[in-house]
Amino acid sequence: ADQLASLEERQKEEPADADKLTDIIEKSFMTDSGRRIGEKKLLG
């Protein structure tokens, strides 16, 4: 949850493109459910 909050805050300050966000999500979240939540929150 902390990781997602940090990524959301960073995205607000310095938006990254979808490809970069996808890479970050893949590296940051270890579970499929975590990746899905990250994608939903960060990619929409």
**Residue range(s) defining the domain that contains residue 9:** 2-43
The token pair that represents 27 in the structure block:
């590296």
How many structural domains does the chain have? Answer: 1
pLDDT, tens digit (0-9, with 9 covering 90-100), for 1-44: 799 999 999 999 999 999 999 999 999 999 999 999 999 999 98
pTM: 0.78
Per-residue pLDDT at 24: 93
* Alpha-carbon distances, residue 34 vs 13, 14, 30 (angstroms): 22, 22, 7
Query: Are the C-beta atoms of residues 22 and 42 closer than 8 Å to each other?
Result: no
Per-residue pLDDT at 33: 96
Per-residue pLDDT at 1: 77
The Cα 38–Cα 32 span in angstroms is: 10
CB atoms closer than 10 angstroms to residue 7: 19
